[in-house]
Copies of this chain bind each other. A is one copy, B any other.
Amino acid sequence: MADLRKRSGKGTDLDTETENEAANQDSDINADIDSEDDKSIGKKIDLSSTIPTGTDKAPEILDATLAGLSPRWRNWFIRGIFTWVMIGGFALLVYIGPLALMLVTLAIQVKCFSEIINIGYAVYKIHGLPWFRSLSWYFLIASNYFFYGESLVDYFGVVDNRTEFLRALVKYHRFISFCLYIGGFVWFVLSLVKRYYMKQFSLFAWTHVALLIVVTQSYLIIRNIFQGMIWFIVPVSMIICNDVMAYMFGFFFGRTPLIKLSPKKTWEGFIGGGLSTVVYGLLISYLLCQFPYFVCPIEFNEELGKMTLDCEPSPLYRPQEFSLPTSFTPFVRMITGKDTVTIIPFLLHSLSMSIFSSVIGPFGGFFASGFKRAFKIKDFGDIIPGHGGIMDRFDCQYLMATFVNVYISSFILTDSPQKLLTRIYTLKPELQLELYTTLRDSLTARGILQLHAP
């Protein structure tokens, strides 16, 4: 939930008072930063020279075409064009399939991590600090090894028919990951140098918080994709929709300020964006529910040796008849002429997600915006012309991903016979037999199973 209209035609010179004045009309972030009491922080921090913040740099051909425009409109065009480039890229990825989505999620994660770490690097000005960069990347690799490994182990399950080496990797995955982490930990302790203790510990903490935000949550995104692409596309596009629509409503109807942290956000934008997101969520969910491609969980097909998206769609995505409590029945009959309502259950889940994305989602944006102000940077980076860094676009997606993951595991996911069988087969034969007889007796007692022979 980065605010779509905080960009002006300005460069990176946050400290040049005169330039700020000129651009102040549509650039509230600079004004805020200048008026902030620097004494409370102890020293003036100026990262503008070290952190590349959003600029209007654009491909040369675009630059030439837009040469005649004022900087403000030039930025507007660049920003708009690259918004559509991103949406188009997203659609293309969805078309290519889940594997492409996962790889791009990984790439985005790495870029976000690098943006956050670069800010730490600039804040603590660690010229000559031994090993810091290598250590951060080492921790990134180790934690990705752990989290991606966990996914692979879960989803590609039994690899009994593969090589011994792969089996050992799977069986001892956590132990290997832990050893990798401990290696980094020991390396950090050995790299401690007297003059730099405080900086080194601060950056160690910085790295870990970055891992917590970026790596763990992009792991959750991957897990969501495995449940079916709908669990990825719907929440991600809801955040985008909420972002754009809050801007539109705020632009046309905005009167009442919402929160001090982001002075340009209004209650009108917040509410209008929220309602639009709910409507959009229902529409896109209804549409995607029609295609198995979007609703089927991704499963590894042992026979074909590749991931598949084929399935008989779960009732979750098919219209279901629900009978309502009797006190409602007269109203329902009045409207629909029946005693029951027919609804696609996923639409109800879509409703929960859109409410979360429009009520809590913006707080992810406020958080990122507060963080940027704390360290006096305008953007996290400058990779997307007109938008800033990758992290500026994905701040809220991470919060949403966690919500969706917890939501799935609490309300949707149930064990499948296949997964449980995989685990049963790892038991010793006599224990498998014990489980079998207990299960048989229980099924018989409950009348689910009728045995031929007594």
Residue numbers of A with Cβ under 8 A of B are 32, 36-37, 40-43, 45, 171-172, 174-175, 178, 182, 185-186, 188-190, 192, 194-201, 205-206, 208-209, 212, 259-261, 360, 363, 366-367, 370-371, 373-375, 399, 402-403, 406-407, 409-411, 414-417, 420-421, 423-427, 429, 431-436, 438-440, 442-443, 446, 448-449, 452-453
Contact between B417 and A438, CB atoms less than 8 A apart? yes
Contact partners of A402 in chain B: CB under 8 A: 178
Determine the main DSSP class of A at the interface with B.
helix
Contact partners of A440 in chain B: CB under 8 A: 436, 440
- In the bound complex, what is the Cα–Cα distance between A260 and B374 (angstroms)? 35
Given A185-B363, A417-B431, A195 and B439 touching (CB < 8 A)?
Answer: no
| Residue of B with least CB distance to A416 | B431
Q: Top 8 nearest A-B pairs by Cβ distance? A: A197-B374, A175-B410, A453-B453, A417-B435, A198-B374, A178-B406, A40-B195, A201-B374
- In the bound complex, what is the Cα–Cα distance between A176 and B410 (angstroms)? 9
Supply 16 further A-B pairs (C-beta < 8 A) apart from A174-B406, A432-B448. Answer: A36-B194, A175-B407, A190-B259, A194-B260, A198-B375, A200-B374, A201-B375, A205-B205, A417-B431, A417-B432, A417-B438, A420-B423, A429-B448, A432-B439, A436-B439, A440-B440
Contact partners of A45 in chain B: CB under 8 A: 198
- In the bound complex, what is the Cα–Cα distance between A260 and B188 (angstroms)? 14
- In the bound complex, what is the Cα–Cα distance between A38 and B205 (angstroms)? 21
Contact between A443 and B448, CB atoms less than 8 A apart? no
Min distance, Cβ A2 to any Cβ of chain B, angstroms: 15
Contact partners of A199 in chain B: CB under 8 A: 40-41
Min distance, Cβ A32 to any Cβ of chain B, angstroms: 7
Min distance, Cβ A402 to any Cβ of chain B, angstroms: 7
Min distance, Cβ A281 to any Cβ of chain B, angstroms: 19
Min distance, Cβ A107 to any Cβ of chain B, angstroms: 25
Contact between A443 and B439, CB atoms less than 8 A apart? no
Contact between B443 and A432, CB atoms less than 8 A apart? yes
Contact partners of A435 in chain B: CB under 8 A: 417, 420-421, 439
Sampled A-B contacts (9; CB under 8 Å): A36-B197, A37-B194, A40-B196, A182-B360, A414-B427, A424-B439, A429-B448, A433-B443, A452-B453
Contact between B42 and A43, CB atoms less than 8 A apart? yes
- In the bound complex, what is the Cα–Cα distance between A419 and B153 (angstroms)? 20
Min distance, Cβ A239 to any Cβ of chain B, angstroms: 15
Contact partners of A403 in chain B: CB under 8 A: 178, 182
Contact between B436 and A426, CB atoms less than 8 A apart? no
Contact between A186 and B439, CB atoms less than 8 A apart? no
Contact partners of A420 in chain B: CB under 8 A: 420, 423-424, 427, 435
Min distance, Cβ A425 to any Cβ of chain B, angstroms: 7
- In the bound complex, what is the Cα–Cα distance between A220 and B186 (angstroms)? 21
Contact between B363 and A186, CB atoms less than 8 A apart? yes
- In the bound complex, what is the Cα–Cα distance between A352 and B391 (angstroms)? 42
| Residue of B with least CB distance to A171 | B410
Given A40-B199, A178-B402, A432-B448, A427 and B415 touching (CB < 8 A)?
Answer: yes
Contact partners of A453 in chain B: CB under 8 A: 452-453
- In the bound complex, what is the Cα–Cα distance between A407 and B179 (angstroms)? 11
